[in-house]
A = this chain, B = another copy of it.
Amino acid sequence: MELGNELNEYKDIIESELDKTLPNEGMLQEKVFKAMRYSIFAGGKRLRPILTLKACKLISGDYKKALPFALALEMIHTYSLIHDDLPAMDDDDYRRGKLTNHKVYGEDIAILAGDALLNYAYETMIDAIKNNKNYRNEYINAFIEIAKAAGVFGMIGGQVVDVLSEGKDIGEETLKFIHKNKTSALIEASIVAGAIIGGATEQEINKLRQYGKAIGLGYQIRDDILDEIGDINKLGKDIGSDEENNKVTYVAMYGLEKSIEETKRLSEIAKNALKLFEHKETVDFFKRLCNYLVEREV
């Protein structure tokens, strides 16, 4: 399942902009710059920043003004992975086929590299707000969208409940909370922030939020499915690691068949939300993403 060449184009832009933006100079704290860059350049799919740029382009015809926020989203996503992998959390040695941050740089530097990426994400966004008076309102609203999704009522909240649920017999409500907040919130915010920056109307934002919610939840369920039946060589991480960490997954709660059905259902919800944008050529990417969601193997 391919998302087309244009995806690579965005990926290259994002990676070269990350390289330009992240600190790199030879100062005394250089090791943390290396640790930040190690995880940023460890082979991520760049899903969140691509969504931001694509959503901005869908609305305004141009992606460029969303770039600082796209980069910030990748920094926030990466910091969350570094902290999730820590021995006190999921205790993972590998991620995307490479050693995790703390295995390379030590636990202390990994904690600080995570902190640094989170802080740097906010530095990047506030600099953009300062330097672009023309989009100031849009940028401020996009910042708020991202900050709430990353925080205690979003990603961090989801991670907290995930950690507290380990080894416990959790109910549907708790699993839903974890999925909604731990993964889906930031994916949703990636799309909505891009749309806001593009100048979307309230109606457009609502539709893309519906789309983002469905895509985000579907993405997480597909993750659970891949943890059960995925190919370790493609995934670059251990299969069955959720089970090993005593985590209740969607697959464990509802079975494989119903999980696959649910990703299909969410994919349809996402497609329906796109009807408002039917007249726009760039909506095709978002449609293809609905299928990718159901079929991806990494």
Residues on A lying within 8 angstroms of B by beta carbon are: 23, 27-29, 31-33, 36, 79, 83, 86, 88-89, 106-109, 111-112, 114-116, 118-120, 122-123, 126-127, 129-130, 136, 140-141, 143-144, 147-148, 150-153, 156-161, 163-164, 174, 177, 181
Apart from A29-B158, A29-B160, what 19 extra A-B contacts exist at CB < 8 Å? A23-B153, A29-B161, A31-B160, A32-B156, A33-B152, A88-B88, A108-B163, A109-B164, A112-B163, A116-B151, A118-B118, A119-B147, A122-B147, A123-B147, A123-B151, A126-B144, A129-B129, A129-B140, A130-B141
A147 to B125, CA, bound (A): 11
Please provide the 7 A-B residue pairs with the shortest distance between their CB atoms, ordered closest to farther.
Answer: A88-B107, A29-B157, A119-B151, A32-B160, A29-B160, A116-B152, A122-B122
For the complex formed, measure the closest distance between the CB of A88 and the CB atoms of chain B, giving whole angstroms.
4
Residue of B nearest to A161 (CB): B28
Residues of B within 8 A of A129 (CB): 129, 140
Residues of B within 8 A of A159 (CB): 112
- Majority DSSP secondary structure for residues of A touching B: helix
Cβ contact within 8 Å between A156 and B115: yes
Residue of B nearest to A154 (CB): B119
Residue of B nearest to A35 (CB): B160
A23 to B114, CA, bound (A): 23
A36 to B29, CA, bound (A): 28
Cβ contact within 8 Å between B28 and A115: no
Given contacts A122-B122, A161-B29, contact A88 B116 (CB under 8 A): no
A112 to B153, CA, bound (A): 13
A118 to B130, CA, bound (A): 21
A107 to B108, CA, bound (A): 13
Residues of B within 8 A of A116 (CB): 151-152, 156, 160
Cβ contact within 8 Å between B140 and A111: no
A147 to B150, CA, bound (A): 17
A199 to B126, CA, bound (A): 19
Kindly identify which residue among B36, B88, B109 contacts A163, using a CB–CB cutoff of 8 Å: B109
A156 to B32, CA, bound (A): 9
A118 to B75, CA, bound (A): 15
Residues of B within 8 A of A23 (CB): 152-153
For the complex formed, measure the closest distance between the CB of A70 and the CB atoms of chain B, giving whole angstroms.
18
Q: List 29 A-B contacts (CB under 8 A).
A: A23-B152, A23-B153, A28-B157, A28-B177, A29-B156, A29-B157, A29-B158, A29-B161, A31-B160, A31-B164, A36-B152, A83-B111, A88-B106, A88-B107, A89-B108, A89-B111, A112-B159, A114-B115, A115-B118, A116-B156, A116-B160, A119-B152, A119-B156, A120-B151, A122-B122, A123-B151, A126-B144, A129-B129, A129-B140
